[in-house]
Structure 1
């Protein structure tokens, strides 16, 4: 009676699954953002905001106009976009610059999944280091009078989404993503936007203020953009920037790929 030896079949290759979140990618991104020198800035800016708020409250007491000036002029106009630049570009830019992204791309993970995961981490980091300190500083400044603290915190959280997506996109297209981010955040929004009224329509800060305006008491916040337009532009920028970042990542090829 003859016996037949079974023939080993080659293992079937499983294509990468298209999901929206990958824990390993998230953990690596989180460690990269908080394990380098950029973490010092992430912690320093919120700490500076709270210190300023405490000093102003101790020297001049609770005042709604002062609270709005600090939360709008420093926190939302400067601190939030800077943190967005650090988190958004830092989520992927350094990996592309030093070439270590090839190790990530060689894994059986969809490149769109990589972008979504990095975006979620960047948004989470930006919200934690911007919206939460803004809320704390607002309560310190005026005890949330006229819902100013909550309104500016909501505006900071909303801005975090768009900033993270936009600056993550910058990180996929240029080695100078930080420069581009700073030019947009500090030159376009803060300088050009203050001189050219029409430029405010293309300002994430103004879009976020329009959302926060609905939360605060009447007259507590003001925006140059109407709420429906602001929401449409926020969604459009976030979706388009995320999609194009994924497209750019797909265009990166590894050795041996066709």
Structure 2
């Protein structure tokens, strides 16, 4: 299912100079915030949880997911170069699966790793907060990559749509509307972090752990499958033209 050539081309597209600068910017900002917070507030568990949950998981992870997920296929569809890839003897599910793996790897590298480092800076992994939020970032990376990869196959405005979901739905509505929080990748991932920490006063989710896991798996699977279907229909449409 994994195609090395497709993966190499996808990595090259995602890690080009302009995207790489954007991908590095948020992790660097997180680490700067972590250092200043530690200096000013000391090793405080509540402050560490607020930074890791409020910025790392709620903002950085989904934005990096948008860049990696949509960038894995969106530009190729926009400029028509995807047709050259579709003309090769590579199965459509293999293309989507490979691009998903690359998007997940990039999201994890630029989101989960800095989250762990920031957690160590903030309070030395006290109360297992660094580990907990890293686990949440890892599983959220998988779901976000799949969702935003799907967006890249169905709309030319995938980045805008992804940012609307990440910043408006999850960050804005999710902060004030209880029902919106239950339909949030962030909350599903937080259910694992809550289990790791074991202290709802520090880390809590609006969904239970079993529900969070089921929703993460279901959304990731459905998004990946539908992205494959859209890629197949794109080839048919091009052939008809």
TM range (shorter): over 0.9
Detail structure 1 runs of 4+ shifted over 4 Å in the superposition: 254-258
Tell me how far apart the structure 1 counterparts of residues 118 and 198 of structure 2 sit (CA, whole Å): 18
Q: Which residue of 2 aligns with 1:5?
A: none
- C-alpha spacing 1:152/1:256, structure 2 compared with 1 (3 Å): closer
Equivalent residue number for residue 221 of structure 1: 203
Does residue 188 (structure 1) correspond to residue 169 (structure 2)? The answer is yes
Match of 2:88 in 1: 107
2:148 is aligned with 1:167 = yes
Q: Describe the SS at the equivalent of 2:206.
A: coil
Per-residue displacement from partner, 1:179-214 (whole Å, max 9, x unpaired)?
A: 110111000011111121011110000000001111
Tell me, yes or no, if structure 1 residue 237 matches structure 2 residue 237.
no
Calculate the TM-score normalised by the size of structure 1.
Answer: 0.90
**TM score, norm. by length of structure 2:** 0.96
- The C-alpha deviation readout for 1:10-67, integer Å capped at 9, x for no partner, is xxxxxxxxxx200000000001000141211101110110111011111221100110
Matching of residue 205 in structure 1 with residue 186 in structure 2: yes
Q: CA deviation at 1:217?
A: 3.7
| Alignment correspondent of 1:124 | 105
- Which structure features the higher share of helix residues? 2
Larger radius of gyration: 1
Q: How many residues align?
A: 239
- Give the secondary-structure state (helix, strand or coil) at the position aligned to 1:21: coil
Q: Which moved more, 1:30-39 or 1:82-91?
A: 30-39
Paired with 1:151 and 1:36, the residues of 2 have a C-alpha distance of: 32
Distance 2:234 2:33 in 1: 45
CA spacing shift, 1:136–1:257, aligned 2, 3 Å = same
Name the SS for the 2:214 alignment partner: helix
Q: Aligned residue for 2:5?
A: 24
Measured on the aligned residues, the alpha-carbon RMSD in Å equals: 1.3
Deviations 1:97-143 (A, max 9, x none): 00000111111100110000000000000001001000000000000
1:50 corresponds to: 31
Question: Given that residues 147 and 217 in structure 1 are in contact (C-alpha distance below 8 angstroms), is that contact kept between their aligned partners in structure 2?
Answer: no
